Chain A
Amino acid sequence: MDASNKESALNVNASSIKISDVSQDGDMLTFAITSQNLSGSGGVCVFRTYEDFIWLQQSLFSQEDVPELQGVIFPPLPDKPLPSHSHTQAKVLKQLGFLSLGDKWQIYCKALELYLQQVAAHTLLSKNKELYNFLSSSESPGKQRSKKGIFNRLSQVMEEMRKEGHKDVDEFFQSERDKTTNLSVLFKVATEKFLEVVLTKQKLALACGHFSTSLHLCVNQENADAVAFSKICLKLSDIIETMKRNFEKVSDNDMSTLGLGLELESRYQEAKREMLFRRTCRLVELDNANKNVDRAKPNKKAHMEEVQKATQKEFNLISSVAKQEIVHYHRTRVQVLRDFLIDWCEKQLSTAQESSTLFSQYLEACKGLAV
């Protein structure tokens, strides 16, 4: 990443951005963000709320004078973190998926951290000086703007679903659009199914807990045989407790690696789909501009041609940015998924080895139990 003389180049080492802490006050979360500059000479820590993140995202979207931004796959910002109370739990789970799980918002913070790293590492987006303010200014960033820029144009245009099916002029893009439509659904479904698996493991952990507690209550010291039976019950209680901890560890591993990875990939696929849709909308505009030239009355023709030329130019610019983005995305996503899969596998392997040892120890102990 070029960080030399460009006026608005970011002086921050993207991979150094960390969310080091999160504190909760009522329903409001505050994130502590630390980062180091490129030379490694200084670090800074700022505190931001989710509203500040939204402001950042909107700032990134709304640079009107940078048309190539429409070709950018914007790193997806996680949804608002709603603390879950018993009556909102299902809703939070539906909205945030894996990001709502885990101790103290760990997984959510990781997703947020990755978002910032991705934005800071992006050649175009990192030039936005609001990003620098966000990461280093001790003051809170500005209030949320009114919804302007392509963010707004996007929502207007989204209503016109028929544009989604508009045939492309470029084979590369048509193929990408088709693939993304298919793949983004599949990733979403896989993420949801995996979430179900993890939630069931948590239920099992609870059930083991109940079983273990009930066993613990079966103690009776009346006579020698009752004492022997009590010993057995307590032993079994310990075993079931170990089972419980195993389930908890396994589902923790699931959440923090593969779960997070699938969740992020789903959202990124969505972001890619949105970008392609934006481009498609511009394509529709271009096709209309072409038609207008053909249909134009002689006195308007020149003007229509100007519009057509400008639209064509912008469309080409967007397409070339989009192509680069897609190539870059394909490369990075494979790396990211690889890392998550390896991490998941290694963690589960380690947990299985621990549990195997523990259960074997119990087995030896039980065989030796005098009865």
Chain B
Amino acid sequence: MSYCSSLHASLFPDKQLHVLQDEDTEENGDTFDMQITVSDPEKVGDGMNAYMAYKVTTKTSLNLFSRNEFSVKRRFSDFLGLHSKLASKYMHIGYIVPPAPEKSIVGMTKVKVGKEDLSSAEFVEKRRSALQRYLTRTVTHPALLKDPDVIQFLENTELPRAVSTQALSGAGILRMVNKAAEAVNKMTIKMNESDAWFEEKQQQFENLDIQLRKLHASVESLVCHRKELSVNTASFAKSAAMLGNSEDHTALSRALSQLAEVEEKIDQLHQEQAYADFYLFSELLGDYVRLIAAVKGVFDQRMKTWSKWQDAQLLLQRKREAETKLQYANKPDKLQQAKDEIKEWETKVQQGERDFEQISKNIRQEVGRFEKQRVKDFKVVIIKYLESLVHTQQQLIKYWEAFLPEAKAIA
């Protein structure tokens, strides 16, 4: 196992993001427990056709699944394919579909080309972690959990190869959102927001987006400096070791060598802490920035739905006017046709209204769920982070307590 993933395992032993029962009323009030792990990245094939296969393990007591514990092998495009299907099924009715992890041409090329260095190991680890979080978020959604594509993804040994997975990576979602926004802007009629809740919420999400991006930038800076500290500490440790070797006075020489060892150990701590900074906060914030894009996406879908409804109403109006005109002309065929069209469009208008009401209802529910989940996610991360902080300080205490007698022994 690579350095990164063994470090990851030691930081997060078996405490994956658990799916807990929601406190408030859920459609089925059963208690459910589910744990998804993505692990054991394995390179399959050679050259530019090579890919990484990940093991996806599900442990669950839910009767949705035929077994309590099972594993399958999946590649990155499979995950994108799953997301693509879910987005096309559910976004237009207002469900916030968790975005899939970002594609990375640079990262994958390194892996394909066979670079066995630290940066490609880190890339694979980062991706593995992101895929795990993605699946966990997806199954946390009560509707998505029951989706046959999801169940098939988790259970089936073989999966048809996903094609055209370009559309709906995180960047793809953003593109879709932007297109929808453009469409909205092109609307000649501005949406009459009868419900202030939606206007307020949209504004809140705008603000949240800005705040999260700022926080993300802060954390990236923190991670960067922490890594710098590790490098500088290692460099100092080396120079202290050289001092220890050259120093004549025996006890002082020993103390300086011990100093070098302590600093090396502290460097380790810095690296672990940088790891925690990144995998806990940086990735969490990054995930939420992408989630907000998905949230904005459903709001825009609602506008599209409203627009469709309005268009149908407009068209119905025109059909009615046309029918009225035809009543005074002497074209019984055309009149009948007009009456049929009116019926058709009346249905469409009713459907449009129902769709709009449904999506509005769904979004309210989804936003509520999102806000609760957000609190849980952050709380879990903060607790893990605090545990890493406490661990670091306790290790430091051990190191200093061990060094003190060495320093005092210098006569």
Residues of A near any B CB (own CB < 8 A): 179, 182-183, 186-187, 189-190, 193-194, 196-197, 200-201, 203-204, 207-208, 210-211, 214-215, 217-218, 220, 222-223, 225-226, 228-229, 232-233, 235-236, 239, 243, 330, 334, 337-338, 341-342, 344-346, 348-349, 352-353, 355-356, 359-360, 362-363, 366-367, 369, 371
Residues 239-251 of B, flagged 1 when their CB comes within 8 A of A and 0 if not, give 1101100111101
Cα-based distance from A204 to B235 in the complex (angstroms): 18
Cα-based distance from A355 to B395 in the complex (angstroms): 12
Q: Does B181 contact A (CB under 8 A)?
A: no
Residues of B near any A CB (own CB < 8 A): 200, 204, 207-208, 211, 214-215, 218-219, 221-222, 225-226, 228-229, 232-233, 235-236, 239-240, 242-243, 246-249, 251-252, 255, 259, 368, 371-372, 374-376, 378-379, 382-383, 385-387, 389-390, 393-394, 396-397, 400-401, 403-404, 407-408, 410-411
Asked whether, in the complex, the Cβ of A225 is within 8 Å of the Cβ of B375, the reply is yes
Q: Given A214-B218, A243-B389, A190 and B243 touching (CB < 8 A)?
A: yes
Q: How far is the CB of A245 from chain B (nearest CB, A)?
A: 13
Asked whether, in the complex, the Cβ of B247 is within 8 Å of the Cβ of A349, the reply is no
Contact of A342 among B218, B385, B408 (CB under 8 A): B408
Cα-based distance from A10 to B250 in the complex (angstroms): 36
Which residues of chain B have C-beta atoms less than 8 A from A207's C-beta?
A: 218, 221-222, 225
Asked whether, in the complex, the Cβ of A366 is within 8 Å of the Cβ of B235, the reply is no
Asked whether, in the complex, the Cβ of B410 is within 8 Å of the Cβ of A371, the reply is no
Contact of A352 among B204, B243, B376, B397 (CB under 8 A): B397
Contact of B394 among A193, A233, A356 (CB under 8 A): A356
Asked whether, in the complex, the Cβ of A220 is within 8 Å of the Cβ of B204, the reply is yes
Which residues of chain A have C-beta atoms less than 8 A from B246's C-beta?
A: 179, 182-183, 186
Which residues of chain A have C-beta atoms less than 8 A from B226's C-beta?
A: 204
Asked whether, in the complex, the Cβ of B252 is within 8 Å of the Cβ of A337, the reply is yes
Asked whether, in the complex, the Cβ of B386 is within 8 Å of the Cβ of A362, the reply is yes
Asked whether, in the complex, the Cβ of A341 is within 8 Å of the Cβ of B410, the reply is yes
Cα-based distance from A84 to B102 in the complex (angstroms): 46
Cα-based distance from A355 to B391 in the complex (angstroms): 11
Q: Is the interface of A mostly helix, strand, loop or mixed?
A: helix
Q: Is the interface of B mostly helix, strand, loop or mixed?
A: helix
Contact of B215 among A196, A214, A223, A348 (CB under 8 A): A214
Cα-based distance from A245 to B252 in the complex (angstroms): 32
Which residues of chain A have C-beta atoms less than 8 A from B408's C-beta?
A: 338, 342
Contact of B375 among A211, A232, A338, A345 (CB under 8 A): A232
Q: Given A210-B218, A338-B252, A342-B404, A190 and B375 touching (CB < 8 A)?
A: no
Contact of B249 among A204, A334, A369 (CB under 8 A): A334
Cα-based distance from A182 to B401 in the complex (angstroms): 31
Which residues of chain A have C-beta atoms less than 8 A from B242's C-beta?
A: 186, 189-190
Cα-based distance from A201 to B208 in the complex (angstroms): 30
Which residues of chain B have C-beta atoms less than 8 A from A353's C-beta?
A: 393, 397
Q: Given A197-B236, A210-B218, A229-B374, A186 and B407 touching (CB < 8 A)?
A: no
Q: How far is the CB of A241 from chain B (nearest CB, A)?
A: 13
Cα-based distance from A220 to B206 in the complex (angstroms): 13
Contact of A193 among B207, B225, B235, B252 (CB under 8 A): B235
Contact of A222 among B200, B240, B374 (CB under 8 A): B200
Cα-based distance from A189 to B404 in the complex (angstroms): 24
